[in-house]
Structure 1
Amino acid sequence: MTNHPAEKIAVRDLKVDGPFWGALKRDLLLSYRRKSDLINPLIFFLMVATLFPLGVSPDSVFLAEVAPGVVWVAALLATLLSMDSLFRSDFEDGTLEQLLLSPQPLFMVVLAKVLAHWMLTGLPLTLMAPLLGVMLFLPADGMSGLVLSLLLGTPTLSLVGAIGAALTVGLRKGGVLISLLVLPLYIPVLIFGTASIQAALTGLPVGGYMAILGAMLALGLIMAPLAISAALRISVSG
């Protein structure tokens, strides 16, 4: 598949704007042109939360109990849905090889691409989460915990998912393999994200859960770009 010439990255653009800001601006611009990539995760997120009461039970008490888990699982799956395309277009048009061969630090470019993915997927999901919480009868006491846990947890999901996307970028159908690779790594984020909301609902302090989610995010910001860079070099060279 041949992309529009305007979609191809030029290494000189990274030199002008810097590797981080140049890659971030480019990915945001390309995603704006491909509006389906922006809308699909949000529609999936909304569909999961909407269909769950129809398939299980519309009882408000039951839905209030399971709302934290439903919202978090829906956010996790919606993030995973968009991971396969993170490096795919760059790999197909040769941009990824240019990035690997350029003198620009791959660490910063990778971090910018993950940030762009979170801004276009994780952040909108976080902003939409209170609406889904209301639909699932989540009490008002849990709304702050819901938003804060997603703000800290969804960037970690993007960082971990990008490792799987980098490892499978050279495969034709890597979506299922990405799921198998990263879902086990998503479990701790899911556990502490839902636990923080449950703690907020019961009046318990949520600072410990948020600290753990923040520690996971800090570790991901340091380690994940290194792992992603190494995975991209392995996938392209292989």
Structure 2
Amino acid sequence: MIALLIRDIRLAVRAGGGFGLGLAFFLIVVVLVPFAVGPETTLLSRIAPGILWIGALLACLLSLDRIFALDREDGSLDLLASAPLPMEGIVTVKALAHWITTGLPLVVAAPVLAVLLSLPEAGFLWLVLSLLIGTPALSVIGTFGAALTVGIKRGGLLLSLLVLPLYVPTLIFGAEVARRGAEGLEVDTPLFLLGAITLFSVALLPFASAAVLRMNLR
């Protein structure tokens, strides 16, 4: 499993779908927002949690089609399906590799980019914590969507349409945690709900993704 994880991380970086692309997109979103809504600090600080979460969500979405597509093209996916490692384990490793190359860099960069949107200092910790808890769910859900569209040529648009509705609960509670934290309000309820979504996704979706992949490989 470790060898597969290292291989997927290397492939993600070499194929242009690694942390560089996601971070660049995240930065572009954050930089363009003040130009669109104006330089008013009060307005920017109020919308900062939502903008940062939307940027992180879309950055994660960019590289989802590469999770299984590259292995499908060169035949590696068929070999992995016949390997001793269960398909559920393969799916979990690929979701983890996606999070390491896309989600984790966004978590690290979020406080720096939050300064550009005038996010109050009290919200920095909660922003990072919400992204740290929520982005694994984005990767696992995205892996499920990638498994559904692995056999479709140019299925990137379809993948986005399938995955975005599933991302909405994570987006709502993640942004709410960051917003409440920035305003000094209690964050327990949205934080627990965000954690529950992630735990539910990690516990169940690898099995669903594995079942879908087995059907597509027949």
TM-score (structure 1 length as normaliser): 0.88
The separation in 2 between residues aligned to 1:159 and 1:182, in whole angstroms, is 10
* Residue of 66, 91, 95 corresponding to 1:85: 66
Once the two structures are superposed, residues 80-138 of structure 1 have per-residue CA deviations (whole angstroms, 9 ceiling, x without a partner) of 01101111110001111112223321111110111011001000001111111100000
Say which SS state the counterpart of residue 87 (structure 1) adopts. Answer: helix
Output the CA distance in 2 between the equivalents of 1:32 and 1:138. Answer: 31
Equivalent of 2:167 in 169, 186, 195 = 186
- Rounded to whole Å, the distance in 2 between the matches of 1:36 and 1:168 is 18
Q: Which amino acid aligns with 1:223?
A: L
Give the corresponding residue for 1:105: 86
For residue 66 of structure 2, give the secondary structure of its aligned residue in structure 1: coil
Work out whether 1:158 is the aligned partner of 2:139.
Answer: yes
Matched, 1:38 2:23: no
Structure number, greater radius of gyration? 1
Secondary structure, aligned partner of 2:67: coil
| Aligned match of 1:177 | 158
In 2, are the aligned partners of 1:76 and 1:157 still within 8 Å (CA)? yes
Please name the residue that 1:66 is paired with: 47
Q: Which runs of 5+ in 1 are unaligned?
A: 1-19
Q: Which of 188, 193, 196 is the aligned partner of 1:212?
A: 193
Q: TM-score, normalised by structure 2?
A: 0.95
Whole-angstrom CA distance in 1 between matches of 2:154 and 2:216: 14
Aligned partner of residue 150 in structure 2, secondary structure: coil
The partner residue of 1:51 within 25, 28, 32 is 32
Which aligned runs of 4 or more in structure 1 are off by greater than 4 angstroms?
none
RMSD: 1.3
Report the CA distance between 1:22 and its aligned residue. 2.5
